[in-house]
A and B are shown apart, each in its own frame.
Chain A
Amino acid sequence: MNKGAKWKDELPVILFIIIFVGLIILFSIFGSGFLTVNNILGILRHVSIVAIAALGVSFVVIVGHTDISFYLVACFAAMMMGFSLAKGLPAPMAVFAGLGCALAFGICSGFAVGVLKLPDIIIAIAIGTIGYGCAYLPSGGSRIYTNFSSSGIGFLNDGSILGIPCPTFLMLVFYIIAYIILEHTKFGTYFYSAGLNKIAANYSGIRVSLVVLVAFVICILLGAFAGEINTASVGNAEVTTALTLLLPCYTAVSIGTAIFKKPGVIGTFLGALLLQIVSNGFTHMNLKYWYSDLTTSILLILSLPISLLNNRKGNSGSTVKASA
């Protein structure tokens, strides 16, 4: 390998660092109060919602699929949590009630895609339609306030564990667990090989359909949990609570893939962090949210070709079969 090729290999990382540092400098010059301890803690708190959902998306992307229903099901889970609270359930139970509903959807789409091998996009649309329709069921679409402040659900957002804000703490826990699973257990190997080559993975004795099912379940559960945290932070349950998750989640995963040449835990986190810095920084520059939306989309478009470079190289690099 010559020097030029090596430099090219590192290009995504260099690019990311330049953008990352550049943005921070930009925001600290033009935005007031960007580079303060409080604000940085705020970024770490606010990044957690997108980061947790994006972590789930990473699993589905790693096994080589896409799921565009997770955020719709998350709306349903959040509504069910609000509904359970209104019915007088204690906060932890309500959280699990919401997750339970999401789990059912996750198993359905995982089974349909993994075991029955139905096309993931159509299934996502069907599951998403049902999920989002169901989100209206508890209240007919109106917001649920009942018992929100008294149940202590706010802890999910405002509380702190070991001195760390609760969402940040949970995010760190999820990321550490996911990192260990993906990088240091055989299950991680299963996820990656299922995504890279389903047939070869099957022939190696890996039950690919099960692996795909599990990935979908993880994706929907984490998405639902992110939706619940968002609901807790807003202080009432509304059907549109998780609708904004789709774009940033895929952008975060795609940026991560671009940096590390494969979808992964750290990459996704860096991607989510970058997006949160953009949105926070724009707020400090008194720019409306659509500027950060625009930046997010452009970052996604830019990250795509870079993240694909590695794959293409790998494919064309394999020797051509010269059989007669």
Chain B
Amino acid sequence: MTEWRLEMRNINKSFVSMQALSDVSFLVRPGEAHALLGMNGAGKSTLMKILCGAYTKDSGQILLDGKEIQITCTQDAIDHGIATVYQHPNLVQTFTGYENVFLGAEASKKHLLGRFSRSDLKKKAQELAENYHMPIDVSKSVSEMKPVERELISILHALSHNPRVLILDEPTSILTRKEKNMLFDVINVLKKQQVSIIFVTHRLDEVNEACDELTILRDGKNITSLRIGSGLDTSYIAEMMLGKKLSNLYPPKSDRQDGEVVLKADRLSFNNRVQEVSFEVKKHEILGIYGLVGAGIDELSKLLFGALKRTGGTVCLNGNPVYFRHPAEAIRKGIFLVPGDRKTEGYVGNMDIATNLSLSKTQKICYKALGLINQGRKKKDSLKLIEQLHIATPSEKKNVAELSGGNQQKVVVGKGLYTDADVYIFTEPTVGVDVGARYSIYEIMRDLIQKEAVVLLISSDIEEIYGMSDRILVLNQGKAAFTARADDTTINEILVQAASNLKSEEKGKDIYE
């Protein structure tokens, strides 16, 4: 028996445009909770996806209890006792909790006509939940469950396979303090049963609480692994995660004086995902809005763009109150959103670059009558944008889906530039974008505020927010938690504000429960 439960040695993985992992090694002991830390794009997800069978590695070895194993599909991973709880629980909505817990393992007989009884399943699921002290009604239908309950169901689903290694991917992003404690209790029980837990997260405070050891990845490389003793030097860890090359990653900030207020949101709300958030954006500035997963930043961007309909509050553009029922109205009034998920929201795949670029402002390439397209104008304008944005493509007729991530994002940005908007909202603009393209996207943002536009940068990438914004707003669980000028604050302070639990809310809860 070796010392290690799981050994991932010298793992390499590259995608079309980038080396995602280079020679990464990751070792986990039995019965330990091991935190895997890193910023966006550091390679955590890629490493874990290789482990659970969603990706295959280019090279390297995976050993489980000293024996080398091959993982080519998700089923292989499950068979080897590697279970994963994904960040977004993947459940069958119309089934009850217990049916989801045992999905794929209902009956002891393997064949399809194997009979099972729902009451037995329910009993087994309840027992399982009790074993780990999870207070959950497993007989509810998943579609009626709260996000927390769904999370617990997917944890139970993973546990039902009696895993030797359990991967928790950002498990706490939507949990309250109390629910987190519950989860940590589960982790402790599992540790006693010699299960190894891999805890993928952003949050340093939780690492301290729940984990025994941590590994930090940065830019697809191992940075360090260390045991967590009595205490953890958070600022040291943060430094290790960030690296020290902030300054040259971002174009210099301008020193122009702020102008008048362009966009103003007052007590903007969306159900309870965005709660009474107020802010204003002045001419010639970039407002950075930072929040962790589930903090409501994506919803906020869509509220401003009319893709979601607000449930409260007001928005003023250049002093006039506006309300958009459809993004078309927002675009007409001069607001453009570069959405967070560019593949499903940003560009139209299987369509050429030129058409995509002009999609939001088709009237510019049309003759007045009948909406006939001026093909010459379309070509000329798209070539101009391609050149301006340095989109690497042989022709403007190329299918956007075949471009690299960075170039795809540039197409989406170019689509926005073509609308000549006053307000640009960039949501997660550099996810999956290589360093070069990243820099040019940042330059575009700087250019925009030099002109007449304002930019809202909405991101869960703290470096980016800190490096780019003039002022910063931090959202925490749907509420505005903190605002400051970028010069007056530090990354650590922002992190703390975004990750801490809102004191007042917790107190309120304690009284009522």
Contact = CB atoms under 8 A, between A and B. Distances in A.
* A–B direct touch in complex (beta carbons closer than 8 A): yes
Contacts of B366: 185-186
Contacts of B399: 314, 317
Given A202-B327, A203-B327, A323 B45 contact: yes
Interface string A185-204: 11101101100110111111
Interface in B393-442: 399, 401-402, 404-405, 408, 415, 431-432
A116 interface: no
A200 B346 contact: yes
A100 B339 CA distance: 42
Interface in B96-140: none
B44 A324 contact: yes
B307 interface: yes
B351 A193 contact: yes
A320 B45 contact: no
A2 interface: no
A186 B360 CA distance: 11
A244 to B, nearest CB: 33
B348 A185 contact: no
A311 interface: yes
B45 A186 contact: no
Contacts of A323: 40-41, 45, 431-432
A324 B39 contact: yes
A319 B17 contact: yes
Contact of A204 (B20, B44, B359): B359
A190 B485 CA distance: 42
Nearest to B360: A204
Interface stretch (B174-182, B370-378, B462-470, B500-508): B370-378
A276 to B, nearest CB: 30
B350 interface: yes
A324 B328 contact: no
B328 A197 contact: no
B304 interface: no
A180 B371 CA distance: 10
B306 to A, nearest CB: 9
Among B20, B348, B349, B432, find the residue whose CB has the most chain A CB atoms closer than 10 A.
B348
A99 to B, nearest CB: 23
B38 to A, nearest CB: 5
A200 B411 CA distance: 13
A203 B349 contact: no
A87 interface: no
A314 B40 contact: no
B351 A205 contact: no
Contacts of B362: 186, 189-190
A25 B106 CA distance: 60
Interface string A295-324: 000000000000000110011011111111
Contact of B337 (A190, A203, A310, A324): A203
A185 B351 contact: no
A193 B348 contact: yes
Contacts of A201: 348, 359
B39 A205 contact: no
Among A187, A311, A322, find the residue whose CB has the most chain B CB atoms closer than 10 A.
A322
A192 B432 CA distance: 27
B1 interface: no
Given A193-B359, A323-B431, A205 B41 contact: no
A4 B217 CA distance: 40
Contacts of A315: 349, 401
B15 A322 contact: yes
A314 B72 CA distance: 23
B373 A184 contact: yes
Given A205-B331, A318-B401, A321-B405, A192 B46 contact: no
A262 interface: yes
Contact of B327 (A184, A192, A204, A324): A204
Interface in A149-201: 180, 184-187, 189-190, 192-193, 196-197, 199-201
B350 A205 contact: no
A64 to B, nearest CB: 11
Interface in B35-69: 38-46, 55
Interface string B7-44: 00000000111101000000000000000001111111
B370 to A, nearest CB: 7
Contacts of B43: 322, 324
Given A185-B372, A186-B363, A314-B349, A207 B408 contact: no
A320 B16 CA distance: 8
A192 B351 contact: yes
B199 interface: no
A317 B358 CA distance: 23
B404 A319 contact: yes
B355 interface: yes
B193 to A, nearest CB: 29
Nearest to A186: B362
Contacts of A185: 366, 370-373
B18 A197 contact: no
Contacts of B42: 324
Contact of B41 (A262, A317, A319, A322): A322
A196 B351 contact: yes
Interface string A31-55: 0000000000000000000000000
Contact of B345 (A180, A203, A319): A203
Contacts of A270: none
A320 B401 CA distance: 11
B344 interface: yes
A189 B359 contact: yes
B45 A322 contact: yes
B348 A197 contact: yes
Nearest to B346: A200
Contacts of A317: 399, 401-402
Contacts of B358: 189
Interface string B330-359: 111000010100011111111100010011
A314 B348 contact: no
Interface of A: 180, 184-187, 189-190, 192-193, 196-197, 199-207, 262, 310-311, 314-315, 317-324
Pairs of residues from A and B, 10 with the lowest C-beta to C-beta distance, nearest first? A186-B362, A205-B328, A205-B331, A324-B44, A204-B359, A185-B371, A314-B350, A321-B432, A314-B401, A197-B348
11 contacts: A186-B365, A187-B371, A203-B327, A203-B345, A204-B331, A204-B360, A314-B402, A318-B343, A319-B16, A321-B343, A322-B45
Given A189-B358, A203-B346, A319-B16, 16 more contacts: A185-B371, A186-B371, A187-B371, A190-B362, A193-B359, A200-B339, A203-B337, A204-B327, A205-B328, A207-B326, A262-B350, A314-B402, A319-B405, A320-B432, A323-B45, A324-B43
